Amino acid sequence: MDAASLAFSVAQTLLSALQLLEIKEIIHIYGYEPRLKKLEGTVTRINAVLQDAEAQEELSREQQLDLVGKLKDAVYDADDLFNEFITRKKQQQIRNTSKGQGKLNGITSDAAKFGFKCDYTKPIRRGRSETGSYVYAESVIGRDDDKIKIVNMLLDANVEGVLPVLSIMGIGGLGRTTLAQLVFNEKRTEKEFPKRLWVCASDQY
């Protein structure tokens, strides 16, 4: 049941993020409560089984795999909700840009009266560690299926004159970089693409 416990841990992390006040407001505005309640119910029921050692022993191999499958679906559902929140939030930020710019211009004007110089053209950069292409594959659990799917998509799309571009979506911490490293170092990928280059794109590039 290690895989199930790992999947449950990820689902719980996503659910905790979805409980943030700002996100709950978006969930309420756009009517996502039923989806969130269903998701919470699924994770809660499976958690009850994970916490019950006797119940775990009574589960057959097929039932254990079904449990892991349901948890995987729950993780994807939570990730979808989180991505929808991010999209809605960005749309809201775009609508508020004109209002914010007006306030910013007012502040700049007032500051200039007192001899202050305001320069808003210089962005505030966040530190972000660079990543390389190396990954210790033996230490990665539960990503084989995803790796195989992405490699197959890359190989199927590798037609002369066509440049395949695949995006791996998800919030930070779900292992997107690790998955990309696994695909990059896959033997079939190395054979099909002998010349490969790993690029780490920071927040500002």
CB 10 within 8 Å of CB 43: no
Structure confidence at residue 124 (pLDDT) = 46
Do residue 95 and residue 7 come from a single domain?
A: yes
In sequence order, the 6+-apart residues with CB closer than 8 A to the CB of 52 are: none
Out of 100, 125, 160, a domain closes at: 100
For residue 85, which of 41, 167, 19, 174 has the smallest C-alpha distance?
A: 19
Give the pLDDT of residue 57. 66
Q: pTM of the entire structure?
A: 0.36
Count other Cβ atoms within 10 Å, centred on residue 154.
18
Q: Do both 72 and 148 map to the same domain?
A: no
List the domain range (segments joined by +) for residue 175: 137-192
| 200 assigned to some structural domain | no
Domain co-membership, 147 together with 70: no
Residue 62 lies in a domain: yes
Looking at the structure, tell me whether residues 94 and 21 fall in a common domain.
yes
Residue 52: predicted pLDDT: 62
In this prediction, residue 198 carries a pLDDT of 83
- Total count of domains within the chain: 2
Cα 150 to Cα 146: distance, rounded to the nearest angstrom: 6
Residues 7 and 88 in one domain: yes
Same domain, 96 and 172: no
Tell me what pLDDT residue 40 has: 74
pLDDT at 205: 46
Taken in order 127, 133, 136, 142, the sign of the CA dihedral is positive
Question: From CA 74, how far away is CA 144, in angstroms rounded?
Answer: 19
Residues 93 and 145 in one domain: no
Average pLDDT by stretches of 10, the chain with 205 residues:
58 66 71 76 69 63 72 69 67 56 57 54 52 62 80 74 68 75 86 82 56
In this structure, are residues 85 and 23 in contact, taking their beta carbons and an 8 Å threshold?
yes
